[in-house]
Amino acid sequence: MTSKEKSKIMTTIGDVLMVFGGIALFSLSLFCGMVFFSILLPARAAKMAHQLDNNPGRTIAIGAGLLTPAIFLIVLLAALPIQLTKILALFLTLAFLGCAAVGGAGLTRLTTDRIRSSAENGAMALFPATVRAAGLIIGALNIPFLGWFFFAPIILFASVGSFAHGFLSRRAVETPWQRAES
């Protein structure tokens, strides 16, 4: 084996490790974002969870309606030879992924409520249930092929749709702890 062949093998292994490392870092950052925003914005997360629970099809359709033209715009901007449009495409991509992470707090909150209600005597604390819920969602996204091509688009559409409802809608939703206080 020549040194040139060895360098090709090392590059290939490095590329594979880079892809898996990128997936791991993306999953970790999405996990942390979902837990963080679910705990940081409890009223918004409850509002988004309520929307996802009562109107899941409508929420996914809103997310698909917002993301489909955005994806076409991002691909169009990234394909242009001007560097400024490529940077704009990157910022649009990061903005929509950020919206999806914040909207994912609603999905995390919905899953957290289901985990807490199914726990023995409903005695599970909020933080451990939130961590389990986010881990369950991220685990579903990382399943080869089924998670990548089926769960990921649905969760992405649902997250962006719940973000749009949670931050752009004026309708108030009563949170569970507000019901307990009254």
CA 66, CA 96: separation in Å to the nearest integer?
10
**Does any domain span residue 106?**
yes
Per the structure, the count of domains in the chain is 1
Position 102, amino acid: V
pLDDT of residue 175: 58
Residues of the chain with pLDDT under 70: 1-11, 122, 171-182
pLDDT of residue 168: 84
**Does any domain span residue 125?**
yes
**Does any domain span residue 180?**
no
**Does any domain span residue 115?**
yes
Domain that holds residue 10: 3-173
Alpha helices in the chain (DSSP H): 3-40, 42-54, 56-79, 83-118, 126-141, 146, 152-168, 176-181
* Two tokens, residue 179: 């019901």
**Does any domain span residue 76?**
yes
User: Is this prediction's pTM over 0.85?
Assistant: no
Write the CB contacts of 43 (distance below 8 Å, at least 6 apart in sequence). 175
Which is nearest to 76 in space by CA: 85, 67, 84? 85
pLDDT of residue 121: 74
**Does any domain span residue 182?**
no
**pLDDT digits 0-9 by tens, 121-161:** 767 888 999 999 999 999 999 998 999 899 999 999 999 99
Write the CB contacts of 104 (distance below 8 Å, at least 6 apart in sequence). 30, 33, 34, 37, 134, 137, 155, 159
CA 141, CA 125: separation in Å to the nearest integer?
25
CA 160, CA 109: separation in Å to the nearest integer?
15
**Does any domain span residue 73?**
yes
